[in-house]
Structures are given as C-alpha cells and as structure tokens.
Amino acid sequence: MISYQITVHYNRPIIRYALNQFMLQRIGLFTLIVTGCALILMPLLAIKFHSFTLQMFAFGLWMGVGLWGIIYGIRLRQSELILSKMSTPTADITFNESSVTVESCLGKSELRWLAFDEILKFEHAWLLIYARSGYINIPVTEMSPELQQFIEYCFNNYR
C-alpha cells in the first residue's frame, strides 16, 4: 500500500490564510463586493427616502453581514486557541489509499477518503474539506508534486 507522510508546521499566518480563502470561497467575491456596496448605499437611501421597507432591508443586510463576521471571528479564535494549546505547532499527516491521518500533540484523527467533500486548491495551501465546514489545511510548501497527485488520485478514486 502506497503511503506518504509529511510534517506540517503551523503558524498564525498559515491558519489565517486558510480561513480567509475558505470563507471567501464559501461567500464568493461577487457576493462580498455587492454586499459591501449595499452596506454603504442602503443606509443612505433609507435615511433619504424614509422607507420602512428599505430600512428593514438595510437592517437585515447588516445583520447578515454581522453574522458572517461573527462566524469568521469564532472560527479564527478556535483555530488560534488550538494553535496556542499545541506545545509544538506541528502535525504529522499520513496519506494512504484508504484514509488521511492527522496526529499532533493534541491527539490523533483519521478520516477515510469517503468523508471528504472537496479539495480547495489555493496558491499557498490546499484544504481537504469534510462535513462541508471542516478542513485539513495543508501548505503547498509541505507537499511534493507526487503527493499532490496522490491526494487527487485518492480523492477521485476512493470516495
């Protein structure tokens, strides 16, 4: 059985990068830009035209953006809390044809390839997404081209 093992060194910039890319991918850049414009324009229009409907729409928009901000803040805090609990911020990740195993000073977890929903590939990191909202963050600098091909192969063939 073919197996690859890497040791990933985590730090705050890597964790933030992965979370930012994950959230941006989930929300979408277009949605983010349109929402930003609406956040600026809606309160101005609501004040000028005194429309209750417009004011409620602006309030709902602000609440929605606030919710995304809260979710982002909670996820970032959880990630940084886990990082601070680690005596050495490293994880050994083992990839084989049946599963992915992550082991650190905090414990060990194993997920079969069937558990992964998608692979998000960014410039500096790959995210193996499971349960639609969890992910394993793998910096690109830690992966060889052979490992990248192996991950894609296992993801496509063992799910």
Question: Domain ranges in the chain?
Answer: 3-9+90-157, 16-83
Least confident of 19-23, 53-57, 63-67, 89-93: 53-57
Instruction: Kindly state the tokens that stand for 50.
Output: 């005194």
Using alpha carbons only, what angle is made at residue 126 by residues 14 and 102, rounded to the nearest 5 degrees?
A: 80
Answer whether residue 46 shows pLDDT above 80: no
Answer whether residue 65 shows pLDDT above 90: no
Least confident of 18-22, 63-67, 72-76, 91-95: 63-67
Report whether CATH 2.60.120.380 matches the domain 3-9+90-157.
Answer: no
Using alpha carbons only, what angle is made at residue 72 by residues 67 and 76, rounded to the nearest 5 degrees?
A: 150
Q: Which helix (H) or strand (E) segment is 153 a member of?
A: helix 145-157
Over residues 56-85, the mean pLDDT reads 88
**What's the length of the chain?**
159
Using alpha carbons only, what angle is made at residue 18 by residues 22 and 28, rounded to the nearest 5 degrees?
A: 25
Answer whether residue 139 shows pLDDT above 80: yes
Count other C-beta atoms under 10 Å from residue 19's C-beta.
Answer: 19
The answer to whether the beta carbons of residues 70 and 23 sit under 8 Å apart is no
Euclidean distance between CA atoms 38 and 61, whole angstroms: 8
